[in-house]
């Protein structure tokens, strides 16, 4: 925590003190504490992933939502706790990312309603605010599912009501709330069978627990930024994201694969690496470890030498960061020709995970592209900005990912424009919907036809498993190639070829006519051509097209019509 906030009354609190009420400034400090503790535990939340696919981003989405909430109040001197709560809710709404972030923003929205225009908050009004949080969060979800963050906020509100009848001390009440949240999170696998199958608790619920625990830790004076060192599955290492945080003096990116001679002491390993460079990540799979680090030029060989002391180095990759950044800028500067829109006509905003897919959407008539997809969910504000900048009051949004639909709906709810969100969960569904666009046609008719179109296409996705698990009778080992048909895990294979063949078989491709293949940024063109030729041999009577998608994480996305 910063020295600036350390002088506020709640910062100086000790466990033996009591608090009958707090004002807006004290709530502001607690929000910063909650945000900090979620950041500390971000990767722990991310790791609670049910499916073995690279979408473990709940912790990231909740953190970005909390950062947006805090940024809304960071310079505010408001003491009215109700007005402060409304500012928090507004920031959370605009910054909400992913389903977990949107639900969290709804929790803050209800919280603000419960404190509407109150000068201070006591145990009774806190209980009322949390009850409103529960009500608003549940109403914000079309089909509420128990065993999720919704269950946790419900159990927290029940605990808060009981605590308010037993104590007038907010600190004592917060202890009871955090304990209730912990119990609720641990119980989520009993309510949601898929969590039990995967052997994890609900990630959104765990994030809410950390948020509240952060407030409590702050009041107790416990460390808020304790370094958390984690090993993640190799396939989920997001090395591309480290390029967003290149600091001066970080001249080279070094990645080392190795097999340690003895069990790896992770804390000691991180300590040694931290003396060499920054942006450290460690991944593990089947006894092999991957170390990633950014270092200055004079230390570019140090990570290799350090790792060789621990075991056998099997592979080394070294890249000049400056050259990578320049190359990335060149690609960013390549503009995509979007379709101009006439006032009064229908415009489409599409979310796209890759440049190739964006170009295809543009060719079909999309008026605005929002970058996003798996592990990179755009915020409500980003989607809102895209639709507000269009010179028409009729807009259709294609989220193209199940974890972006709620953010799109939030954007639609805060604009005066006529906006429809087509619940496209995949890129093929979004592309199929675009084929029904007629810009000067009746808005409602186009919306109806797009909704019909997304049900007429089959989607296949091929990627690398990020964890070992058994889901719906399919056993998966970390590092295997897995295939999903319409979002359902259908097989795990040793090779990309086998995974693609089994996927197409599961999707009933024999009875279809057309296969469109979008290849990602993590597979070579030679591999793409080899696999595509194999598919042509299997389906000689089908029309088959291959396009560069440029999507991360997924080697292939199949559109089967």
CATH of the domain at 261: 3.30.70.260
Residue 23 to residue 16: CA distance in whole angstroms: 20
Examine the domain organization and report whether 289 and 394 are in the same domain.
no
Are 62 and 113 contained in the same domain? yes
Structural domain includes residue 329:
no
227, part of any domain: no
The neighbour count for residue 500, using CB atoms within 10 Å, is: 24
Q: Are 21 and 126 part of one and the same domain? A: yes
Please state at what angle helix 525-538 crosses helix 496-506, rounded to 10 degrees: 40
Residue 328 lies in a domain: no
What pLDDT is recorded for position 520?
94
- Contact between residue 116 and residue 89 where contact means Cβ atoms under 8 Å apart: no
Q: Is residue 547 part of a domain?
A: yes
According to the model, what pLDDT value does residue 243 have?
47
* 240 and 317 part of one domain: yes
Q: Of 130, 115, 125, 113, whose CA–CA distance to 181 is shortest?
A: 130
Number of domains in the chain: 4
- The C-alpha angle with vertex 399 and arms to 396 and 405, in degrees rounded to 5, equals 105
Q: Is residue 387 part of a domain?
A: yes
Same domain flag for 444 and 319:
no
Q: Which of 431, 453, 475 is the last residue of a domain?
A: 453
CA–CA distance, 320 with 254 (Å, rounded to integer): 9
Distance (Å, rounded) from C-alpha 72 to C-alpha 78?
A: 12
Give me the pLDDT at residue 15, please: 44
- Give the C-alpha distances (Å, rounded to integers) separating 303 from 267, 275, 308, 540: 16, 10, 9, 50
The answer to whether residue 225 is domain-embedded is no
| Residue 226 domain-assigned (yes or no) | no
Q: If DSSP states are collapsed to H, E and C, what string results for 200-254?
A: CCCHHHHHHHHHHHHHHHHHHCCCCCCCCCCCEEHHHCCHHHHHHHCCCCCCEEE
Instruction: Assess whether 65 and 158 both reside in one domain.
Output: yes
DSSP 339: P
* Domain-terminating residue out of 323, 343, 359: 323
CATH number at residue 428: 3.40.50.510
Same domain for 161 and 253, yes or no, is no
Write down which residue in 160, 190, 220 finishes a domain: 220
Q: Which are the contacts of 530, defined by CB distance < 8 A and separation ≥ 6? A: 497
Strands 311-320 and 368-371: unpaired
- pLDDT averaged over 10-residue windows placed end to end, the chain, 561 residues: 36 57 96 94 84 79 94 96 98 95 97 96 98 96 93 98 96 96 97 89 96 95 70 54 53 88 87 86 77 88 93 87 57 69 95 94 95 87 95 97 95 96 97 94 96 96 88 86 94 94 95 96 92 96 96 94 95
348 and 287: one domain?
no
Whether residues 411 and 480 fall in one domain: no
Helix axes 203-220, 98-114, angle to 10 degrees: 50
Closest C-alpha to 155, from 124, 125, 133: 133
Tell whether 449 and 465 lie within a shared domain.
no
Within a domain: residue 435?
yes
Count of Cβ atoms closer than 10 Å to residue 213 Cβ? 22
The CATH number linked to 556 is 3.30.1180
The DSSP line for 343-395 is TTSEEEEEEESSHHHHHHHHHTT-SEEEE-BTTBPPBHHHHHHHHHTSSSSEE
Domain that holds residue 361: 335-453
Considering the domain architecture, whether residues 300 and 339 belong to the same structural domain is answered as no
Whether residues 43 and 182 fall in one domain: yes
Residues 47/232, Cβ–Cβ less than 8 Å:
yes
Instruction: Report yes or no: 46 and 94 within 8 Å, Cβ to Cβ.
Output: no
């Amino acid at each position: 925590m910063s020295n600036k906030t350390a002088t506020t009354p709640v910062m100086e609190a000790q466990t033996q003190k009591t608090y009958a009420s707090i004002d807006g400034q004290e709530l502001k400090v607690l929000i910063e504490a909650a945000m900090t503790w979620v950041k500390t535990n971000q990767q722990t939340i991310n790791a609670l992933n049910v499916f073995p696919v690279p979408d473990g981003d709940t912790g990231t989405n909740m953190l970005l939502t909390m950062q947006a909430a805090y940024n809304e109040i960071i310079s505010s001197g408001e003491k009215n706790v109700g007005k402060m709560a409304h500012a928090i809710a507004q920031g959370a709404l605009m910054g909400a990312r992913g389903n977990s972030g949107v639900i969290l923003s709804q929790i803050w929205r209800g919280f603000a309603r419960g404190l509407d225009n109150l000068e201070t908050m006591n145990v009774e009004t806190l209980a009322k605010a949390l009850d409103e949080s529960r009500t608003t969060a549940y109403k914000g979800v079309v089909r509420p599912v128990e065993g999720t963050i919704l269950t946790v906020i419900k159990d927290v509100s029940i605990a808060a009501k009981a605590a308010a009848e037993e104590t007038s001390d907010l600190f004592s009440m917060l202890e009871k709330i955090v304990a209730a949240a912990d119990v609720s999170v641990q119980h989520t696998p009993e309510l949601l069978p898929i969590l039990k199958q995967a052997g994890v608790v609900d990630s959104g619920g765990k994030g809410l627990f950390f948020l509240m625990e952060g407030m409590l830790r702050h009041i107790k004076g416990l460390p808020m930024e304790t370094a958390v060192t984690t090993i993640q599955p190799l396939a989920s290492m997001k090395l591309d994201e480290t390029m967003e945080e290149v600091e001066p003096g970080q001249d080279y990116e070094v990645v080392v694969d190795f097999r340690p001679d003895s069990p790896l002491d992770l804390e000691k390993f991180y300590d040694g690496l931290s003396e060499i460079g920054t942006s450290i990540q460690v991944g593990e799979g089947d006894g092999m470890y991957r170390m990633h680090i950014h270092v200055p030029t004079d230390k570019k060989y140090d990570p290799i030498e350090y790792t060789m002391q621990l075991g056998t180095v099997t592979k080394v990759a070294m890249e000049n960061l400056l050259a990578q950044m320049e190359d990335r800028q060149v690609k960013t500067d390549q503009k995509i020709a979007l379709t101009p829109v006439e006032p009064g006509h229908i415009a489409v905003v599409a979310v796209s995970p890759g440049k190739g897919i964006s170009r295809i959407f543009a060719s079909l008539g999309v008026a605005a592209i929002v970058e996003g997809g798996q592990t990179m969910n755009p915020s409500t504000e980003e989607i809102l900005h895209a639709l507000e900048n269009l010179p028409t009051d009729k807009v259709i949004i294609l989220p193209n990912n199940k974890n972006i639909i709620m953010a799109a709906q939030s954007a639609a709810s805060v604009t005066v424009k006529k906006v429809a969100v087509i619940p496209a969960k995949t890129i093929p569904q979004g592309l199929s919907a675009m084929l029904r666009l007629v810009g000067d046609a009746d808005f409602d008719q186009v919306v109806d036809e797009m909704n019909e179109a997304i049900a007429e296409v089959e989607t296949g996705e091929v990627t690398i498993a990020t964890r070992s698990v058994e889901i719906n009778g399919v056993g998966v080992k970390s590092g295997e190639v897995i295939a999903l048909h319409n979002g359902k895990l259908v097989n795990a294979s040793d090779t990309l070829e086998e995974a693609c063949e089994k996927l197409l078989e599961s999707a009933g491709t024999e009875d279809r006519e057309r296969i469109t293949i979008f290849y990602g940024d993590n597979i070579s063109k030679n591999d793409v051509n080899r696999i595509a030729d194999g598919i042509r041999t299997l389906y000689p009577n089908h029309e088959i097209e291959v396009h560069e998608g440029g999507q991360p994480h997924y080697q292939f996305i199949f559109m089967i019509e």
